[in-house]
Chain A
Amino acid sequence: MNKRAYNLAYFLKESKTLFKIDFLSNIFSIISIGLILFILSLVLLGWRVSSYVIQIVEREGEINVYYDLSLQEKDINYLMEDIEKIEGVSSTSLVSQDEAYNRMAEILGKEAGILELFDENPFTPFIEVKIHIEEVDSILDELESMLGIDYIRDNKNIIDRLQNILIILKVLGVLALVAIGVSTLIVVSHIIRQGIYNNRDQINTLELLGAPDIFIGFPFILEGVFLTLLGGVIAFILLKLVLGLGYSKFFTALPFLPLPAEESLLIPIGIFILLLSGLLGIIGSLFGLAKDNEKA
């Protein structure tokens, strides 16, 4: 057998022994780490969802132009031609009163019955203008100077608000990442130091026999990685449950929200949380070992 594989079996056995020595506090640590990482995964989830929504809203850059209802069909066609000439406009199309009603009925889905409360179709026809979102300001300026237009509805406000939310989420994400990183490092390094304290006789003997630090410390590093990885798995499971619940209950009630597929959220966030948990385990263990060396 290869010497590394031979020693790896020993390291795994040793880390299992270390885990058993402080079994209960290790279990509590795994749960704490799991919950901490779960909070981080929720922040990341919010971050990703809002980024996606902004991307979709930006891609679907459109302006609804409500014209003077007294305009004749010919005037409406001239108006549409004029709008198409504006720089940054890619196309225009007329949405009739009936089509506007059908679109809303489609959006409301099961709740579309609410529209039946109206005696008449409450919607008005409009011109749907597809635009390049970066040109929105100049397009709005030109539209406002045109005759025959009553009201213009754009999604600039929505984008601006979403972008503000995204900035807040990004800041929260970074803060959460730092807070979670520090608290996980403290938990792990404390556990490792406790393990070192419980095994100080064994460590002392190995040092006297000439064992290198890496040989002595490796089981402790494995233990730390094991603790945080299990915490990461707990966070992943909780995230999966929350996402499943969210998609089946909450998001179906808001069908007009453009949301990414469940897997496209779960997999990258899950992988990130697992990788982060492993990394925090290594750093936390090294920190615990380093602090112990300083003490010695």
Chain B
Amino acid sequence: MIVAKDVSLTYQDGTQALKDVNLRIKAGEIIYITGPSGSGKTSLLKLILGMEYPTEGHLRVMGQSMVKDEEDNIRKLRRKIGPVFQEFKLIRGRTAFENIVLGMRFLDFTPKEIIENSYMALERVGLKHKRDSLVDKLSWGESQRVAIARAIARKPSLILADEPTGNLDLDNALNIMDILTSLRDENTTVIITTHATHLIEDKEEGTFIRIQEGRLKMERRGVEAYE
């Protein structure tokens, strides 16, 4: 699913976000990436989504080489990804339902599937009653759940969730973690970054990556540890 070989990322201002990252993620895995703020968690997700390109090394996502020359193909690749952004990136002035539908209009779904998937996704995140609410009027936690609903309604092969529990109370945070980890049962690869390590400490399965100063330390638990 994802293969990184000696990947480094240095921003134009000279900041080195990632250094010599080597990574191999299989389909259906769940990955938790932790690390302090500014350690490079978001940068790694940006590389996987094609928002940034490695300045050194090679990165392939679902067989697609992540280089600037491949921008058009990377755009197509994004259609197989369900991103959940730290700042949600919901479209203002639209309802929760419209935001979810908009994320699917250009995918290979029929109008009926788009509507059904959107309803199901809203139900899954517990926001069916807010379908017609403008996203501008939703709370932080609700907006986060709409962003997750938009990602999962797309039935992606890969979910990238950047700090999906940031600024949420414990109950809401646990609820969102449960929703995201449950996607693994649908053979979706899920990558979650979080600085809230207490939310994942008791997880028995998954790949745990700790990033510190741009370098990775990986630990596998449960089934993944034996594969």
A residues in contact (CB < 8 Å) with B? 1-3, 6-7, 10, 17, 201-202, 204-212, 215
B77 contacts across to A, CB distance below 8 A: 210
- Which residues of B have CB within 8 Å of A7? 105
Asked if B218 lies at the interface with its beta carbon under 8 angstroms from chain A, I say no
The contact size tier of chain B is: 20 to 34
B167-221 with Cβ < 8 A to chain A: none
Contacting pair B103 A209 (CB below 8 A) = yes
Asked if B89 is at the interface of the complex by the 8 Å CB criterion, the answer is: yes
Residue picked from B78, B106, B154, most chain A C-beta under 10 Å? B106
Q: A1-B111, A6-B111, A215-B106 are in contact. Are A210 and B89 (CB under 8 A)?
A: no
Give the residues in chain B near A201, CB-CB below 8 Å: 89, 91-92
**Complex CA distance for A208 and B150, rounded to whole angstroms:** 13
User: B89 and A208: CB pair below 8 A?
Assistant: yes
* Closest chain B residue, CB of each to CB of A202: B91
* CB <8 Å contact, A212 and B75: yes
B111 touching A212, Cβ below 8 Å = no
Q: Is the CB of A210 within 8 A of B106?
A: yes
Closest to B93 in A: A17
Assess the A3–B83 pair: CB atoms within 8 A. no
Q: List 28 A-B contacts (CB under 8 A).
A: A1-B111, A2-B111, A3-B110, A6-B114, A10-B105, A201-B89, A201-B91, A201-B92, A204-B89, A205-B90, A206-B102, A208-B51, A208-B85, A208-B89, A209-B78, A209-B79, A209-B83, A209-B154, A210-B75, A210-B77, A210-B78, A210-B79, A210-B106, A211-B75, A212-B75, A212-B106, A215-B105, A215-B106
Q: How far is the CA of A55 from the CA of B66 in the complex (A)?
A: 67
Residues of A near B51 (CB, < 8 A) are 208
Interface string of B79-97 (1 = CB under 8 A from A): 1110101000111110000
The CA of A205 and the CA of B92, in the complex, are separated in Å by 11
* B89 touching A205, Cβ below 8 Å: yes
> Which residues of chain B come closer than 8 Å to A3, judged between CB atoms?
110-111
- B49 within 8 A of partner (CB): yes
| Contacting residues, chain A, for B92 (C-beta < 8 A) | 201-202
Give the 7 A-B CB pairs with smallest separation, nearest first: A210-B78, A210-B79, A6-B111, A205-B89, A215-B106, A211-B106, A1-B111
C-alpha gap A204/B51 in the complex (Å): 11
> B207 to nearest A CB, angstroms?
24
CA distance A52 to B81 in the complex (A): 64
Complex CA–CA separation, A210 to B104 (angstroms): 10
Cβ contact of A208, chosen from B49, B114, B154, cutoff 8 A? B49
Q: How far is A207 from B72 in the complex, measured between Cα atoms in Å?
A: 11
* CB of B137 within 8 Å of the partner chain: no
Q: How far is the CA of A205 from the CA of B81 in the complex (A)?
A: 13
Within the assembled complex, what's the spacing in Å between the Cα atoms of A209 and B75? 8
Q: Counting CB contacts under 8 A, is B76 at the interface?
A: yes
Given contacts A209-B154, A210-B75, A210-B80, 15 further A-B contacts (CB under 8 A): A2-B111, A3-B110, A6-B105, A6-B111, A6-B114, A7-B105, A17-B93, A201-B92, A205-B89, A205-B90, A208-B89, A210-B79, A210-B107, A211-B75, A215-B105
**Shortest CB–CB separation between residue B150 and chain A, in angstroms?**
8
* Contact call B83/A208, Cβ cutoff below 8 A: yes
In the complex, chain B residues whose CB is within 8 Å of the CB of A204: 89
Chain B residue numbers with a CB within 8 Å of A210 are 75-81, 106-107
- Report B-chain residues with C-beta under 8 Å of the C-beta of A212: 75, 106
A1 to B91, CA, bound (A): 25
Expressed in whole angstroms, the minimum distance between the Cβ of B33 and any Cβ of chain A is 19
Residue of A nearest to B50 (CB): A208
CB distance from A280 to the nearest CB of B (A): 28
Chain A residues, CB < 8 A from B76: 210
Q: Which residues of A contact B75 (CB under 8 A)?
A: 207, 210-212
**What is the CB-to-nearest-CB distance from A250 to chain B, in angstroms, rounded to a whole number?**
52
Shortest distance from the beta carbon of A295 to any chain B beta carbon, whole Å: 15
Cα-based distance from A201 to B87 in the complex (angstroms): 12
Q: Quote the shortest CB–CB distance from B61 to chain A (angstroms).
A: 12
